[in-house]
Copies of this chain bind each other. A is one copy, B any other.
């Protein structure tokens, strides 16, 4: 075999592999888009393939089943989100920062549909225990992000006396998911901003009462 032929064959194989990887990505992005706009019930192989601009059979070639593709989409969203918000979190040093950071995160979530994807998959998990197991595995980054935010924003003494960081993180995720579902009924009335402000005031208040010592020595007003 000539060297040129080998190179040619290698390049072709690479390009083919690249195309495959790219198709996988397009399918995942298509799944995310369809979960957002049509919900779990509307996330069929045909709908997703349509959104991805490719053939329906490729869903099964690349992922084996529709369910696997949807789980892959949720996993992708979860990881992307955790990676994107790490820097924002590191800047949190107290209740005020928490509100600003949460606003920023919420804006980004709304735009990219992160929470909508999670909410739809959580609802869909009700139909199948195996799917529930897979969704549970994907959800860890969400708790991780929430827990880190809470711990950086709220003095340890407050967390100890009111509720643990795990419970607080759980509540934050639950609140975001619930508000996403409610807000879609009436997109005009998103109450998230008002709530975040109130949460910030509460956290500051609790910090003052329980004892000033906390992760924010520079002090809230």
Question: Are A126 and B132 in contact, with the CB atoms below 8 A?
Answer: no
Question: Are A195 and B163 in contact, with the CB atoms below 8 A?
Answer: yes
Question: Are B181 and A122 in contact, with the CB atoms below 8 A?
Answer: yes
Contact partners of A175 in chain B: CB under 8 A: 171, 174-175, 178
Question: Are A39 and B178 in contact, with the CB atoms below 8 A?
Answer: no
* Nearest B-chain residue to A142, judged by Cβ: B182
Question: Are A132 and B174 in contact, with the CB atoms below 8 A?
Answer: no
Task: Report Cα–Cα, A202/B202, bound state, in Å.
Answer: 8
Question: Are A127 and B38 in contact, with the CB atoms below 8 A?
Answer: yes
Instruction: Confirm or deny: A4 has a beta carbon within 8 angstroms of a beta carbon on chain B.
Output: no
Question: Are A201 and B125 in contact, with the CB atoms below 8 A?
Answer: no
Question: Are B185 and A127 in contact, with the CB atoms below 8 A?
Answer: no
Question: Are B167 and A174 in contact, with the CB atoms below 8 A?
Answer: no
Per assembly, the copies of the chain total 2
Instruction: Confirm or deny: A124 has a beta carbon within 8 angstroms of a beta carbon on chain B.
Output: yes
A residues within 8 Å of B by Cβ?
A: 36-42, 116, 119-120, 122-127, 132, 135-136, 139, 161-164, 166-167, 170-171, 173-179, 181-182, 184-186, 191, 194-195, 197-198, 201-202, 205-206, 208-209
A-B contacts, 29 of them at CB < 8 A, read A37-B126, A39-B40, A39-B123, A39-B124, A39-B126, A40-B123, A41-B127, A42-B127, A116-B126, A120-B126, A122-B184, A122-B185, A123-B181, A125-B185, A161-B201, A166-B191, A170-B182, A170-B191, A173-B178, A173-B182, A174-B181, A174-B182, A175-B178, A176-B178, A177-B177, A177-B178, A177-B182, A178-B181, A209-B209
